[in-house]
Chains A and B, each alone.
Chain A
């Protein structure tokens, strides 16, 4: 019995020694492998050179580059947005200048035509054409002030019979007030305006500097002209100035021609 126990202890001891030996061998193998890997790592590091980054550093570097590019992209997008806004501003400004250019051209042609003749009837005809073609009025009257009687009388009409327009005293009613004050008159509600010869839709004084020689009274616009544009108000004033000068010059010329003819007749009578 005791011998059996000793044999068992001995065999256990043997087994333990075997396991311990194997463990020692395995540990030595691991140490060798570790040494081999360290050596390999050193070799790899040497072959990459001192400037090359490790994969972690490379990832970091690339991430930073991506962030830089993202920022650059954002800056470019901001600049594009800014340029587009500027472009829209320029486009709007271009249209404004185009409109201004067109208005100046129209005004140039109108004034050129007005000052191209000294014939009173022709001047009235040109004013009529300008009011229809540029302003878009269908019914209107050109009224001149008789400085002796202080009365305004229609000398030319469009869309209305001249005999229908009564004469107006200076300072009386809308027409008389416009002629006296030299201020433009525009009806407050164009849509509901009803024709009234004493209260035109629009009344513009024909002025040479501050001297009013008559008025332009508008009673109806062309059916396609629903309202006045902002530029029309400026056009009115500018055209009225040119129209007044043209009317004044042509009347002066007609008067001097008449006087010349009378004097000539008188001279002929005396000399022949």
Chain B
């Protein structure tokens, strides 16, 4: 049944083509940025610094992948930034610098992420609350709960074992120099995401985002598919929190603004807000492109304060482009 729906339109993951959801534009932007970086700071492209750049970018790429599942199904998840912060603060307090608590806490964080995603998903699909209200509510709940629980300042500490994922690397690797653990985590999870999108689930997810009514009539349980998308987003946030907490240590702003970063990355990667178009690879490349753009801005001495401005402009532009295309497409019908 679901394959039938998927077959109605060529899947975006198959071939890069110049249309909404295609990979070509993002690959082109990425290539241009790489050339600009190479001109300004050739050292940046040397294996060691490139590897550490990829390692540092791993959390936002994972968040973009998580956000992709939700957006392509026609919803939004604004709660991931606060979820990341909550996870880091909870991890620090529970681990309290005791290495033996690392693994239980890692499992707990993954469960915490999944439960937040489940709640987001069920409220959105079963109670029919629009997802940007649901997840905005979740955002505020998590911010408030963390503040209340910690009195406004983080307590405890993360163990070195915990921080290893976000901070350490395999050293002395031939050619590459060093390979950050975060990069390996990213590669494994990115592969899983691609496999998932090529399986029946991925086709169903896109069908649900493209036209939930048709999907419903074809026998797809739309609410279940969307809820799973939210759970995947929550899990991605949990992994990102483990990497980010590892990278920078206990922080009350570990996740501040990450929801925008992820959503910007997703739309930059050619995924249409509103659902149904775009690939998970595009979303992840979008995140990589955004990080590269920020690195380039840094090399040119552009103030970090402009990052949110750039993100806002990208979101507006992407929505405008997709809205124009959609209206022209509707005209054709």
User: A and B: partners?
Assistant: no
Q: Hey, which bits of chain A sit against chain B, CB under 8 A?
A: none
Binding site for A on B (CB under 8 A): none
